[in-house]
């Protein structure tokens, strides 16, 4: 699947593989989040999202104001309110950061983000986003990645599943917030968990 800078996605040798069911991607995302222990009942404030995605607060604010990556849990309603980002939002923030670091134009990144949003993150764990710097391509199988590289169109790739796991690890050590009660959820330090497991084993 080729994603062009004007926001359109065209087929060809890289099939989208989308379902006729428009909610299929939502079901897939829910299953992936359940497997990762992630639910939309938890949100992350701006500074936490920045830390997990490796971006500055200025970038976060600019991307939210321009509609590139908006907080899906709770947007800012004027002064005094805190944006809350979902786990999925933070994954997208990290993907955007990686594209920017490799020199992809913001217009093409915007088209890719819009495409992911429309897909509902179907097949997220298996997806690889490739780019030649001008166009972003979606690959959901190793064969598609190889085909793209052989065609000379892919210079670098982002394995979304790897980004997903990186974000999951980072957020597990940071604070989240329950959407329903506003309760702060303290992150789990892997060192503490390891110590608990050793104590149980002993």
Question: Which residues are bridge partners to 2 per DSSP?
Answer: 10, 137
Query: What value does the mean pLDDT take over residues 14-20?
Result: 29
Model confidence, pTM: 0.70
DSSP string, 118-160: HHTTTTGGG-EEEE-SS-EEEE-SHHHHHHHHHTT--SEEEEH
To the nearest whole number, what is the mean pLDDT of the chain?
73
The gap between the terminal CA atoms of the chain, to the nearest Å, is 52
pLDDT at 18 over 90: no
Q: What is the pLDDT of residue 15?
A: 27
Q: What is the pLDDT of residue 153?
A: 61
Strand order in the sheet with 84-85: 84-85, 42-45, 176-178, 184-185
Residue-wise pLDDT for 75-120, tens only, equals: 877 666 688 999 989 999 999 999 998 888 888 888 888 877 777 6
């Amino acid at each position: 699947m080729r994603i062009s800078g004007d926001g359109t996605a065209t087929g060809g040798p890289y099939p989208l593989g989308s379902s006729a069911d428009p909610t299929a991607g939502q079901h897939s995302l829910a299953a992936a989040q359940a497997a990762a222990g992630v639910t939309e009942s938890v949100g992350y404030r701006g500074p936490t999202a920045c830390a997990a995605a490796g971006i500055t607060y200025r970038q976060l604010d600019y991307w939210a104001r321009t509609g590139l990556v908006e907080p899906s849990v709770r947007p800012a309603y004027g002064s005094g309110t805190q944006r809350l980002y979902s786990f999925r939002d933070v994954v997208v923030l990290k993907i955007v950061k990686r594209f920017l670091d490799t020199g992809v134009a913001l217009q093409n990144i915007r088209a890719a983000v819009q495409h992911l949003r429309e897909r509902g993150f179907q097949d997220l764990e298996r997806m690889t986003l490739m780019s030649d710097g001008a166009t972003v391509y979606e690959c959901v199988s190793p064969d598609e990645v190889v085909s793209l590289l052989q065609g000379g169109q892919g210079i670098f790739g982002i394995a979304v599943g790897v980004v997903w796991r990186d974000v999951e690890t980072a957020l597990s050590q940071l604070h989240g917030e329950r959407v329903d009660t506003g309760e702060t959820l303290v992150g789990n330090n892997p060192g503490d968990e390891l110590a608990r497991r050793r104590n149980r084993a002993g």
